Amino acid sequence: MKWIDHKTLIELCPPAELNFAECLQFLNRSDQEVLHQISDNYLYKLIKVNDKRILIKIGSTADSIRVEFPLIAPTTNEREEVAAYVWEWFNLNEDLKTFYLMARQDYVLKNIVDNYYGLRMICIPDLFEALTWAIIGQQINLTFAYKLKKRFVEQYGESLSFEGETFWLFPSYEKIAMIDVEDLRKLQFTARKAEYMIGVAKAMTAGELSKEMLLQIQDYEPMKKKLMAIRGIGAWSADYVLMKCLQHPLAFPIADVGLHNALKVQLGLERKPGIEEIEGLAKNWEGWQAYATFYLWRSLYDKAI
C-alpha cells in the first residue's frame, strides 16, 4: 500500500489503472443502497475502526485518492486502518496491466473492456456482509434483494447522522447471532434465508469461521470447498464471496444468470449460452476469471441506465 499521511486527510497513491469516476458509477448503481452515499463526486461511508465509528469522505485528484474525515479526527493508527480499508475496498493491490492485455485481444471482452478502463473490483471487505449479501442475493429479483438488505441494515445496524444524512454500518455477526428466525421473517426474509444468515452469524461468533481462516487456505479449490461447507452457501455464493471479499482472481460464478445475460448480449445470441460454451470462452481468461465476470456484470448496467 502506497499512501501519504497528511494528518487531517490521507492520500492514497493507487496504481495507474484506476478511474475513480468509473468506480463511483458502479457504486451508484442502486438507489436503494444504504451502506454508502455519493454526492458531488464524493463518496461517503461509515466504517468502524477499533470500535470507533468513523465517517470518511473519499474524493480523487488526477493521480490520487484523498480521504477526509468530516466528523472526527482519527488517531495515527486509525488513519492507517482507514487507508488499508479503502485500499482493499477498491482492490488496489491488483495490477490490471496483464488483465487489459488479455482482454483487449479476447473475443468477448475486447468490445467492453475499454468502456470501463480503470474500474476496479469493488469489494466487500467484511466477511459477514459478503456472506449475507450473497445469501440475500439468491433472491428472485435484485430489487427485492436490495429492499431486504436495507430493512436488515436499518433494523440491526448502527448508524450516525451528519448534515441531515444518516450513515449505516452493516450489522455485526454478534448481534445477528442472538436473534431468531422469526425476527427476520418479519422483515420478509424466507425462513430458509433467515436460518442461513443466523447460522453464519453463529459460526462467526463461535470463532468457527473467519476471513483470516479462509485467506490462510490460499488455493482456490480448497477455499471454495470450505465456503460451500457452510449451510446456505452453494457454488454461486462461494464464488461470489471469493471474488468480492477474499479477492481471489480465479473466483468464477459460472452459473450466474447475470453473467449468462451479459454473454448473450455480447455474443449476440438468441438464447443464453450453456455452461460448456462459457467454459470454452473462459479458457482465455485463465487467471482473470473474477475480473472478466465483474466487467461483464458491469456491461449489464449500461442497458438499465
Partner DNA sequence: GGCCAGGGCATCT
Partner DNA sequence: AGATGCCATGGC
Residues lying near DNA in the complex (CB under 7 A) are found at 134, 137-141, 143-144, 147, 188-192, 230-238, 253, 255-258, 261
Residue 125 CA: distances (Å) to CA of 68, 236, 242? 20, 18, 11
Nearer to DNA, 66 or 147 (CB): 147
Query: Could you tell me whether strands 52-60 and 42-49 are parallel, antiparallel, or unpaired per DSSP bridges?
Result: antiparallel
Q: How far is the CB of 179 from DNA (least distance, A)?
A: 16
Residue 292 to residue 287: CA distance in whole angstroms: 10
Q: How far is the CB of 138 from DNA (least distance, A)?
A: 4
Residue 246 to residue 44: CA distance in whole angstroms: 23
Nearer to DNA, 40 or 221 (CB): 221
Q: How far is the CB of 262 from DNA (least distance, A)?
A: 11
Q: Which residues contact 241 (CB under 8 A, 6 or more apart)?
A: 127, 130, 131, 134, 227, 233
Nearer to DNA, 60 or 266 (CB): 266
Q: Which residues contact 178 (CB under 8 A, 6 or more apart)?
A: none
Nearer to DNA, 44 or 252 (CB): 252
Q: How far is the CB of 65 from DNA (least distance, A)?
A: 31
256 catalytic? Reply is yes
DSSP H helices, 157-246, are: 173-176, 181-186, 191-205, 211-217, 220-228, 235-244
Nearer to DNA, 157 or 234 (CB): 234
Q: How far is the CB of 274 from DNA (least distance, A)?
A: 13
Alpha carbon 66 to its chain's center: 20
| Residues 227/241, Cβ–Cβ less than 8 Å | yes
| Residues 263/241, Cβ–Cβ less than 8 Å | no
Q: What angle do CA 217, 219, 222 make, to 5 degrees?
A: 70
Q: Which residue is catalytic, options 106, 126, 239, 256?
A: 256
Residue 287 is which amino acid? G
Report the catalytic residues: 256
